């Protein structure tokens, strides 16, 4: 049975699509893509149905990663369909924990906790001009996704 990971940020158009795409690429590179179900979602529904921010897709494209999913809002059922739900910052984690139904199976985790450089918070680059914040988000996601998979393989999660 495949494992399942959901990446969540405020609107599902910046950080969580980047994290989802990076995680998928990482799984593919490790030859374990078929062992995972991966998705992303938003805390709020403002952007539901929208494509990611063009700066997010530009950064992904610059790293030869294509992404074409659309934003959606997290649902209560996600907490039983996914094994791991990753928030990008403490506000995401707080919202996720308050929405999480009792006795659901998902572990709610801060993605940045797996960054070996200790860069715990993946800051929202939405209001930035340019792509610099999106590139930083991408780099953090690469480190954190690899860190998560290493810790999972070691049995430390």
Catalytic residue among 9, 14, 141, 145: 9
pTM of the model: 0.98
DSSP string over 33-92? GGGEEEEEEESS-TTTTPPPPHHHHHHHHHTT--------B--TTHHHH-SEEEESSHHH
pLDDT at 1 over 90: no
For 13-37, what is the mean pLDDT?
A: 98
What band does 122 get if pLDDT is binned at 50, 70 and 90? very high
Q: Between the CA atoms of 130, 136, 139 and 144, what dihedral angle is there, to the nearest 10 degrees?
A: -140
What average pLDDT does range 7-18 have in this prediction?
Answer: 98
Q: How confident is the model at residue 157 (pLDDT cuts 50, 70, 90)?
A: confident
Which H/E stretch holds residue 30?
Answer: none
For residue 128, indicate whether it is catalytic.
no
Q: Is the pLDDT of residue 114 over 90?
A: yes
For the chain, domain boundaries:
3-154
**Is 137 labeled as catalytic in the residue annotation?**
no
Q: What is the pLDDT of residues 60-74, one digit of tens each?
A: 999 999 999 999 999
* pLDDT tens digits, 92-105: 999 999 999 999 99
Q: What is the CATH number of domain 3-154?
A: 3.40.50.2300
| pLDDT value for 143 | 98
Q: Which of 15, 78, 137, 141 is catalytic?
A: 15
Cα–Cα distance between 104 and 97 in angstroms, integer?
Answer: 11
CA–CA gap between residue 151 and residue 130 (Å, rounded)? 33
The tokens describing 128, both together, are: 């930035």
Are 37 and 2 in contact by the 8 Å Cβ rule? The answer is yes
């Amino acid at each position: 049975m495949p494992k399942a990971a959901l990446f969540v940020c405020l609107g599902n158009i910046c950080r969580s699509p980047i994290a989802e795409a990076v995680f998928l690429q990482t799984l593919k590179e490790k030859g374990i893509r078929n062992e995972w179900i991966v998705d992303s979602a938003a805390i709020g529904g403002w952007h539901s149905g929208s494509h990611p921010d063009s700066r997010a897709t530009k950064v992904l494209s610059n790293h030869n990663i294509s992404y074409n999913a659309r934003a959606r809002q997290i649902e209560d059922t996600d907490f039983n369909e996914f094994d791991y739900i990753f928030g990008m910052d403490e506000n995401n984690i707080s919202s996720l924990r308050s929405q999480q139904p009792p006795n659901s199976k998902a572990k709610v985790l801060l993605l940045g906790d797996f960054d070996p450089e200790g860069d715990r918070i993946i800051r929202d680059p939405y209001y930035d001009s340019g792509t610099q914040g999106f590139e930083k988000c991408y780099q953090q996601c690469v480190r954190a996704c690899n860190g998560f998979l290493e810790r999972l393989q070691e049995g430390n999660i």
